[in-house]
């Protein structure tokens, strides 16, 4: 698979995290964002029986759109090329809103020249206890086997945190009465080590940008 294919793969996403000036985000034509950016007619909206994912794709167009370098159109998707060097901190959420067969959520957390992390999440609802157990067991085995095959190693063999030379991946499961959330969060190793400090610095930059007018007023 190439960087212009959807869904993105761990091998590519692990190279996207960290201190970056640019970021490529692929949006399939089964995401409502595809139609936001292309301005094409969204025929899914004409189907009263369409599948609609519980979690929707999301971007803050007011913060994001001015940082678009280009939009490349592919056969069944578009690729956003973003300059993130001076972008306000924000979440870019890519979901196949209209595809029942892929309910994975891809969250990109970016800001001021950093891709802080990329999270892959699978949420399932309205399940009985046995199905939750079987689903989580399957997902856990699938993810652990794949990460070990990619050369990652687990700390203390608890399989909740993985690392290689450049990345840290956090494996997280949250279970509730009739639902669960399973996520993999990919970090650049250097960013992970100073994550809290970095997020605080970036938050201060966001506030400086938001209240820049005060620099003129308070004179």
Report pLDDT for 131: 83
Domain span holding position 77: 10-217
CA distance 191 to 17: 9
- pLDDT of 74-129, one tens digit each? 989 999 999 999 999 999 999 999 999 998 999 999 999 999 999 999 988 877 87
Is 192 inside a domain boundary? yes
Q: What is the pLDDT along the chain (219 residues), one digit of tens a residue?
A: 778 899 999 999 999 999 999 999 999 999 999 999 999 999 999 998 899 988 999 999 999 999 999 999 998 999 999 999 999 999 999 999 999 999 899 999 999 999 999 999 998 887 787 888 888 889 899 999 999 999 999 977 788 999 999 999 999 998 888 888 899 999 999 999 999 899 888 888 888 777 777 677 777
Going through 77-205 in order, the beta strands assigned E by DSSP cover 77-83, 90-95, 104-111, 114-124, 153-154, 161-163, 167-175, 180-188
If we measure between CA atoms, which residue out of 130, 139, 125 comes closest to residue 172? Answer: 139
Torsion of CA 72, 46, 123, 176, to 10 degrees: 160
**Two tokens at 163?**
């690392």
Is 31 inside a domain boundary? yes
Is 164 inside a domain boundary? yes
Q: Is 165 helix (H, G, I), strand (E, B) or coil?
A: coil
Is 2 inside a domain boundary? no
DSSP class of residue 39? -
CA distances from 191 to 19, 32, 78, 147 (A): 8, 31, 28, 20
Report pLDDT for 157: 77
Residue 171, classified by CB atoms within 10 Å of its CB into exposed (0-12), middle (13-18) or buried (19+), is buried
CA distance 128 to 143: 22
Report pLDDT for 128: 83
Mean pLDDT across the chain: 92
In sequence order, the 6+-apart residues with CB closer than 8 A to the CB of 59 are 33, 36, 90, 92, 93
CA distance 53 to 96: 7
DSSP string, 68-102: EEEEEE-SSEEEEEEE-TTPPSEEEEEE-TT-TT-
**How many structural domains is the chain composed of?**
1
Is 3 inside a domain boundary? no
- pLDDT of 114-135, one tens digit each? 999 999 999 888 778 788 888 8
**Two tokens at 153?**
């190693």
Report pLDDT for 106: 98
Dihedral sign for Cα atoms in the order 199, 205, 210, 215: positive
Report pLDDT for 214: 67
Is 201 inside a domain boundary? yes
């Amino acid at each position: 698979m190439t960087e212009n294919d959807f869904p993105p793969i761990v091998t590519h996403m692990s190279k996207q995290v960290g201190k970056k000036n640019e970021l490529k985000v692929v949006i399939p034509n089964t995401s409502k964002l595809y139609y936001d950016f292309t301005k094409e007619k969204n025929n899914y909206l004409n189907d009263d029986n369409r599948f609609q994912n519980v979690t929707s794709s999301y971007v803050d167009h007011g913060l994001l759109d001015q940082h678009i370098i280009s939009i490349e159109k592919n056969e069944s998707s578009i690729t956003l090329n973003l300059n993130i060097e001076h972008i306000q901190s924000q979440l870019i959420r890519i979901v196949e809103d209209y595809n029942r067969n892929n309910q994975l959520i891809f969250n990109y957390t970016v800001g001021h020249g950093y891709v802080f992390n990329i999270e892959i999440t699978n949420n399932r609802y309205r399940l009985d206890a046995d199905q939750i157990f079987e689903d989580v067991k399957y997902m856990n085995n699938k993810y652990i086997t794949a990460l070990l095959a990619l050369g990652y190693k687990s700390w203390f063999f608890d399989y909740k945190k993985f690392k290689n030379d450049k990345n840290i991946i956090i494996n997280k499961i949250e279970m509730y009465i009739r639902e669960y959330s399973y996520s993999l969060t990919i970090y650049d190793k250097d960013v992970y080590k100073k994550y809290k400090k970095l997020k605080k610095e970036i938050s201060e930059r966001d506030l400086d940008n938001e209240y820049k007018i005060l620099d003129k007023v308070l004179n």
